[in-house]
Amino acid sequence: MQKVSIVIPVYNESESIADTIHEIKEIFDGQLLYLPEIIVVNDGSVDDTIHQVSSTHPEVMIVNNVLNMGYGYSLKRGIEHATNDTIIILDGDGSYPVHQLNKMLDRYFQGLDLVVGARNDFFVEDSFFKSMFRWLLKLIVEFTAGTKIPDVNSGMRIFSKSTIMPYFPYLSNKFSFTTSMTLHFALDSMKVEFIPNGYRKRKGQSKVSIYKDSIRTLQFIIEIIAIKNPLKLHLMVMTPSFILLLFSIVYWIKGFGIIPFALLTSTLLIQLSIAALGLNKMR
């Protein structure tokens, strides 16, 4: 029997956490292949989330953050407290169906480094901005990694504790933990598989700040690319800079004058591109 640790970060998830744990236990009850340890990391909840866990599932390990430190930080703490090497992470809001867990574990133990429960192309809560940003992230990550990635930031995945912990200093403490992890694993040529798993409407409110967390995620992706594949960063910033520069020249030739913003943006992008090329030569 394989022992696995399931890490669930929670912040004000009193509406769903007890049902989520019950659903997980139902999957593993009565089977002889996997023995789960469930760890709930309470990220400074101010509702009765922890009471819901302790009163309905007293055998669950609870790790408390003194303050609200973030999704990635909570995952790191839960992984550190895990007593098993095989780690499963998923959210406590009921949005990830768990019926595929046994199948995902079967595939993982066939020699994979990461198994991801990929969501549908359409997520029930997506706004237009969120959909476009997810598409942009997917485009950047796939271009950098040179491989198809169906779901960049799914929060349901299986991996090894000993494999992930050396990456901790380079993984976000916020919601971009999973995105940065996906890119690191892809760029390091690890064996990753995506298994279609679906997605449900969450219970309670989303904790993601669309603008702030999107900018932070993009920052982490650029940093990872600059470190591990700066030539790709060079290509990514050179292409729009030349398009802007060409547009500015044509606009000027047509007699409409100079576009300061376009020229400034183009210049900045070229400078970034040169910096990325310099990083590539230093590697």
pLDDT per residue as tens digits for the range 14-67: 999 999 999 999 999 988 899 999 999 999 999 999 999 999 999 999 999 999
Strand arrangement of the beta sheet that strand 114-118 belongs to = 61-64, 34-42, 2-10, 86-89, 157-160, 114-118, 192-196
pLDDT at 281: 47
pLDDT at 282: 46
Average pLDDT for 130-150: 81
Average pLDDT for 141-162: 91
pLDDT at 230: 72
Residue type, 58: P
Average pLDDT for 143-167: 92
pLDDT at 74: 97
pLDDT tens digits for range 163-221: 999 999 989 998 889 999 999 999 999 999 999 998 877 665 666 655 666 677 777 78
SS3 41: strand
* pTM reported for the whole predicted model: 0.82
88, 79 contact by CB (below 8 A): no
pLDDT at 241 over 80: no
Average pLDDT taken over every residue of the chain:
84
Q: Model confidence at 146, in pLDDT bands (50, 70, 90)?
A: confident
Q: Model confidence at 269, in pLDDT bands (50, 70, 90)?
A: low
pLDDT at 229: 75
- Cβ burial, residue 96 (10 Å; 0-12/13-18/19+): buried
The tokens describing 183, both together, are 């890119």
**What's the CATH code, domain 2-228?**
3.90.550.10
Sorted by where each begins, the domain ranges of the chain are 2-228, 230-282
pLDDT at 79: 98
Total Cβ atoms within 10 A of residue 17:
29
Average pLDDT for 75-93: 97
- Cβ burial, residue 11 (10 Å; 0-12/13-18/19+): buried
Average pLDDT for 76-91: 98
pLDDT tens digits for range 112-127: 999 999 986 555 555 6
Of residues 283 and 44, more confidently modeled: 44
